[in-house]
Amino acid sequence: MIEITEVNDVTCVKGTTKQGSMDVYTFLVDGQLIDTGPESLLPELIPFFESNDFEKVIVTHHHEDHTGGAKWILDHKDVPIFIHPLAVDLCSEDAKYPFYRKLVWGERKAFKAEPITNTFQSRSYNWEAIHVPGHAFDHLAFLNQSTGVLFSGDLYVTPRPKLMLSFESAPDTMESIRKVLTYDFSELYCCHAGYVPNGKEMLKKKLEYMENKSGEIIHLYKQGLMSEEIKEKLLPSRHPIIQFSNHEWDTLHFITSVVEHYQKTK
């Protein structure tokens, strides 16, 4: 199922998966598509792609919920797809990821991606691609320099994150948020939360929460607690995604990434 809304000059396409009822957004702004949505939503997304003109696609990161429609777009729209240079080779092969994610998002087929530049133009606007690793090594946020609007990919999502993927880094995410907060913007468009009018303030709240939680984690670690013990004290969770994902999603990953970073930098 998809739902299309207009916010200012941005077309927001919200897709909800049949499996897991997960929301994900793709955005159309000034002749460019930001992210493609997942392969599992292509039957609903294709009519939108067919009825709208865009000259290029810019991708926030390589994960399958953001690139699953890329092959169809290349095959049928013949427009270039740009991504962080670190992910270009990765996109040239069919993506490999656990079965549970394929149930939700479908299968991301190989596609030809081109390396994005640090600055670029759309029809009327100047843009900057900001490298914001943490959720993914190749993650980018896109700042419309002309309007001061940020397209943040998965950098925001929620102001109080608890569950994290096994390959995510809480310290890197915090550093990326600090970096983005140095830019001049107020509102943002998030690929899972949609339009966030007070986006900069919400990112500040997320950073404050993560910094406080990280401080609590280090405090307990210094007292000799193991990561599993810290989890039960600070981030206990029985969320079904933990078992469904065989612990690829877990609050434990927040803790271990903080502890590992502390061990390297102390």
Handedness of CA 187, 136, 17, 115 (dihedral sign): positive
Domain residue ranges of the chain, discontinuous segments joined by +: 2-210
Q: CA-to-CA distance for 56 and 29, rounded, in angstroms?
A: 11
pLDDT at 4 over 90: yes
> In whole angstroms, how far apart are CA 80 and each of 1, 8, 11, 121, 136?
26, 25, 20, 14, 22
What percent of the chain clears pLDDT 90, i.e. is strictly above it?
Answer: 96
Burial 56-72 (b: 16+ CB within 10 A, else e): bbbbbbbbbbbbbbbbb
The C-alpha angle 43, 20, 32, rounded to 5 degrees, equals 45
What integer pLDDT is reported at residue 1 of this predicted model?
86
Q: CA-to-CA distance for 12 and 40, rounded, in angstroms?
A: 18
pLDDT at 214 over 80: yes
Fold of 2-210: Metallo-beta-lactamase; Chain A (3.60.15)
Q: CA-to-CA distance for 190 and 238, rounded, in angstroms?
A: 26
> In the predicted model, what is the mean pLDDT of residues 98-115?
97
pLDDT digits (tens, 9 = 90+) for 52-81: 999 999 999 999 999 999 999 999 998 999
Pairing verdict, β 114-115 and 119-121: unpaired
